Structure 1
């Protein structure tokens, strides 16, 4: 039985080096910088362009969502916004959700791996999910390695799922189960 109240009660999750807090409008300036960063846009496959007002409105409405969890990733030592991490696409009948993370600062330093592990614990131990799944583009080996460290297993591939700067790229499908040894 899923604890759907855990999707309403946005958590604060604390690790050694990161804190995950409910995403809100106060995070919009950092998030806006991220959605305009060329590397972040490429790794997330984001073609759309967003205004500051778009990002602020999106951030401000995350607490209202009752079928997902949107958290800001903060560096524990100083509160710097490193990005966001999300459980979305709730499929309650099959006890699964989608996952995404977008680091806008300090990539490659283990923050994303720690944040992912914290949110997976919440997903399995508090919400009671059986499965968490994601897509990642084949040109993002750092993210793929981080996901594998967190227990995600490659389950398939969407061939030529992203057209980026005139080249086609595959999306890897990855998933992790509550019963996996993570």
Structure 2
């Protein structure tokens, strides 16, 4: 049985590289700027560009959502926003939820920030919320993200063929999931 208060009470989670804090109105400007980045939009398959007002409304509304968890990713070394993540589509009956993460610019990739953010939120999902399964979709061309997800215990479960049409080309999406046991084994392999 899941603990829905763990979705309602927005946590702050701290690792060596990142701090995850509740996504809020104070993040709206940097969140908006991130949505303008062409590479971020390609990696997330986001065709529509938000307006500044839509970004403000989105960030300001996250604290009121009791059915999902939206967190800003803060680089601890620089103290700046580098992206955001969500646990959403929570299925309490099956102890499952979807996951998504977006780093805001290419300069923040390859440093382990996304991997640590994913580890922190998976630990919270399994230990505090009581989930058994966390799943995601990632485009097959996003090899860096796929490697990071695998390092956190995600396993490829399937392929959605031609799921994304981007600049005239079609791309597959992979469905990946981490069960609590997969995540714990990945943590043991990493010496944590």
Q: Could you say which TM-score interval applies, normalised by the shorter chain?
A: over 0.9
TM-score by length of 1: 0.98
Tell me the SS of whatever aligns to 2:181: coil
Root mean square deviation of aligned Cα:
0.7
Deviates more, 1:130-139 or 1:71-80: 71-80
Structure 1: how far apart are the matches of 2:20 and 2:49?
26
Give the match for residue 151 of structure 1: 153
Gaps of 5+ in 2: 187-192
Q: Which has the higher helix share?
A: 2
Q: How many residues align?
A: 182
Q: Give the 4+ runs in structure 1 shifted more than 3 A.
A: none
Q: In structure 1, how many angstroms separate the alpha carbons of the residues matched to 2:49 and 2:20? A: 26
- Give the C-alpha shift of residue 77 in structure 1: 2.3
TM-score by length of 2: 0.93
Q: Corresponding residue for 2:15?
A: 15
Matched, 1:141 2:143: yes
Could you report, residue by residue, the CA deviation over 1:64-97 in whole angstroms, capped at 9, with x for unpaired residues?
0001000000011232000001100011110000
What does 1:1-182 align with in structure 2 at a 5 Å threshold? 1-105=1-105, 106-180=108-182, 181-182=185-186
